[in-house]
Each structure stands twice: as C-alpha cells, then as structure tokens.
Structure 1
Amino acid sequence: MTDNADARSAAEIVDEEWRLLLGGSHDLIDGETVRAASAQPRLRRLFPLVSHGVMYFSGCTGMPAAHVGGQVCPRGTDGRFRVRGPRGVGTLGRAETREEAFALVVANLPEECGPAVLGGAGRV
C-alpha cells in the first residue's frame, strides 16, 4: 500500500467515526459536544473517542490510541467544562462553553500533529 492509500484509508476511517458520533445513535456522549468538536478543522482530522461523556482524540485509527490535545469533560457542578490533558493527566483549564473547551484542546495539539494515521500508537 502506498502512503497516499494509507492516508486515504485513515481519512475514511476517521470520517466514518465522526459520522457515527454526529449521527447520535449512541448514549456515550451528547450531540452538542460532538458538534462543537467537529466544528474544529484540526480535530476533524483526528480519530474521535468518547467514554463516559468525555471526548478525546487520537493521532491514529487503532489501539492503543495515541492521545493528543486533551479531553473535554461534561459540564461540572460549577457549570463549566473541564479540559484535561492527554490521557486525562493534569488540567489544561476550564471553559464556559463547549466551543471554548475544544479551542483549548486545539491550542494544546502539538504543532506537528497531522491527520490520524492507520494503526495503533506505535505508528504515530
């Protein structure tokens, strides 16, 4: 397989995962959160992951995931969204809106963070 074929295949996998999440046919995360994340072009190139209402991103399409940028947690008791670092380590900040929370994730993406690649974390 050529690099172009790999990139195209990874892009198709990423697009399909975004379509599933945006379709809302699951109870893993609310649709408003997914829509706010999908509005960020740099995040749309990454593989989206969700667990217990938390949304995070991987630089690869397989497992283990290559966590990048950070994680957006559901609105807390203070009414704000907590943004944790990759793998949930540390706190990057708190945001009033989902849009601000995902902008904080984008701001913490490594500069060289490109589209997700095929495979697990060993590929990134």
Structure 2
Amino acid sequence: MILPPHETQAERDASAARFGAELARLTAAAGLPLPPARRLTWCTAEFEGPPATPAPHHGAEPGPPAPDRARLRGESDRYPPHLTLYRGRLPLAEGRPPDLLPALRAVSAWLAGADLAAIRRTAPFLHVQEWAFTHERTPLDRIELNWRVRMQGLAHGPYPVAREDVKALWEAAFAQPRLRRLRPVTSHYTLWFSSTPDYPFERVGASVEPLHRGGYLVRAGGGEPATVATAAEAVALAVAALPPEPV
C-alpha cells in the first residue's frame, strides 16, 4: 500500500483513515492480538502496550517507565516501509519490513512482551545491535545510549544518512574515550559535544563539520577554523580542544 503525498489536511485525513483500515484488515485476517493504533497519520501508525514494569534504575531512563511502543511508517513514493520498536523510550530494534503484515506480527509480539532474541527470530528484517542486548540485561547510562541510538539511526533509521563522511566522523568520535563520555549534539551534520547529558547543553571542545567538497572543518573556541582531510584528523583536533582532565 503506497501512501501518496498530500497537499491538504482533508487529503491527509482521508489517507490516514485508509491506512488505518488496511492495518485493521491485515491484523484481523492474521488473528493478531494487536490493539488499534494509538496515533495514526497519513503515513505513520504508533502502537502502545500496557504500562511497563519498573526496572532497576541505572541512570538510563529517569522517571516512571514508559510503555513499550512501536512506530510503523507505511510505504510512500519516497521511502519504503520502516518499523521501530521501543522499549520504554529507546529504539532497540528498527528496519524495513518486506510488507506490512510481517511488521504487524513483530509489533504484536513486541507489545506482548517478547524479548529481543524472540524479536530477532520473529522479524529477521529488524536490526538488533549488540548494545541493545546488553542494555536489555543491564541498562546502559544515558550518554552511552545517546551515542548508540544516534549511530544506529544513521544506518538503520527511517531516514538513513547516505553520506559516508558523516558516518566516518561519528565512528571516529565514538572511538575516542574522552569524546565518548560527552553527549553528542548535532546541528544539521555538524557534530559538537556537551558536558551535560540533557538540554541546556554545556558546549565543550570543538565542533566538526563534514564539508560537501570533502574534508572537515573544525572550529575550536575563538581560534581560527582548521580544515583537515580525514575524520581521524578532525577528531584528534576535537580531543585536543577539550579542557585538561583533572589530575
């Protein structure tokens, strides 16, 4: 079911109704114990399970646990279908189903409480990375999770980044222990770092911008910007611009 673009709200509403009807038809025909979509737009359906059981807190997700969720984006003239499964607030598995029915089977299993190993068997089209299995056993801290989720989205999110220079920058920055302890923040493709995990961010060190013509522009403090050829060189300058570590 390819979802066309729309120019008016009435067209979007009508398309959302058709999308919801198709999902309901597939769910009923397959006998899936799946609740109706909590939120439905012309291209996206969001499903939500019962309230989650509180888990030991390790600084990963403050506050009461959020229900497990799933977001299914239908096929459009620009993008194929995409499914993301959230445990609490975190996208732990995402990928592109071959069509809507396998996606709905995965959503049904997820909201029924399936773990990631079961989801990998049920929905092999989903990418479940090793950090997600680790987090399922023992929650990772919030900054580590932010790095992992952002990097996962570059390759497997609903709008993957095609630029290899952007991916190379993130991989090089993630490999540096001092940068990895900071919160990564982006403005378009420019990457910079915060000493605080949440907004308002406290910017430290340098920002690195991948240039369309090739190379990277590094801006550190009030000094002159520097252009380097590789992500490794750019990240080395970003590390050098960090404040000295406490003795």
Q: Given the two structures, how large is their TM-score scaled by the length of structure 1?
A: 0.71
1:48 paired residue number = 184
The 1:106/1:64 distance shift into structure 2, 3 A limit, reads same
- List runs of 5+ in structure 2 lacking aligned partners: 1-57, 61-139
Counterpart residue identity of residue 227, structure 2: R
Counterpart residue identity of residue 9, structure 1: G
1:82 paired residue number = 217
1:15 is matched with which residue: 144, 169, 173? 144
Q: Distance in 2 between matches of 1:97 and 1:32?
A: 9
2:228 paired residue number = 95
SS in 2 for 1:109: coil
Q: Distance in 2 between matches of 1:92 and 1:110?
A: 18
SS in 2 for 1:56: strand
* Rg larger in structure: 2
Counterpart residue identity of residue 216, structure 2: F
Q: Distance in 1 between matches of 2:212 and 2:204?
A: 22
2:40 paired residue number = none
Query: Following TM superposition, by how much is the alpha carbon of 1:50 offset from its aligned partner in structure 2, in angstroms?
Result: 1.2
Counterpart residue identity of residue 14, structure 1: I
SS in 2 for 1:60: coil
1:120 paired residue number = none
Query: Following TM superposition, by how much is the alpha carbon of 1:85 offset from its aligned partner in structure 2, in angstroms?
Result: 2.2
1:112 paired residue number = 245
8 A Cα contact 2:217 2:228, kept in partner: yes
8 A Cα contact 2:142 2:197, kept in partner: yes
Q: Distance in 2 between matches of 1:45 and 1:106?
A: 12
Please provide the CA RMSD for this pair: 2.4
The 1:51/1:40 distance shift into structure 2, 3 A limit, reads same
Query: Following TM superposition, by how much is the alpha carbon of 1:27 offset from its aligned partner in structure 2, in angstroms?
Result: 5.1
1:63 is matched with which residue: 199, 212, 220? 199
Query: Following TM superposition, by how much is the alpha carbon of 1:75 offset from its aligned partner in structure 2, in angstroms?
Result: 2.1
Identity of aligned residues (%): 36
Q: Distance in 2 between matches of 1:91 and 1:27?
A: 32
Give per-residue Cα distances to partners, 1:62-91, cap 9 Å, x unaligned: 1111101110001253x32110125xx554
Q: Distance in 2 between matches of 1:51 and 1:59?
A: 17
SS in 2 for 1:71: strand
Query: Following TM superposition, by how much is the alpha carbon of 1:92 offset from its aligned partner in structure 2, in angstroms?
Result: 4.1
Query: Does 1 or 2 have the higher relative contact order (CA < 8 Å, sep 6+)?
Result: 1
8 A Cα contact 1:76 1:82, kept in partner: no
Note if 1:35 corresponds to 2:171.
Answer: yes
Query: Following TM superposition, by how much is the alpha carbon of 1:97 offset from its aligned partner in structure 2, in angstroms?
Result: 0.3
SS in 2 for 1:9: coil
The 1:91/1:76 distance shift into structure 2, 3 A limit, reads farther
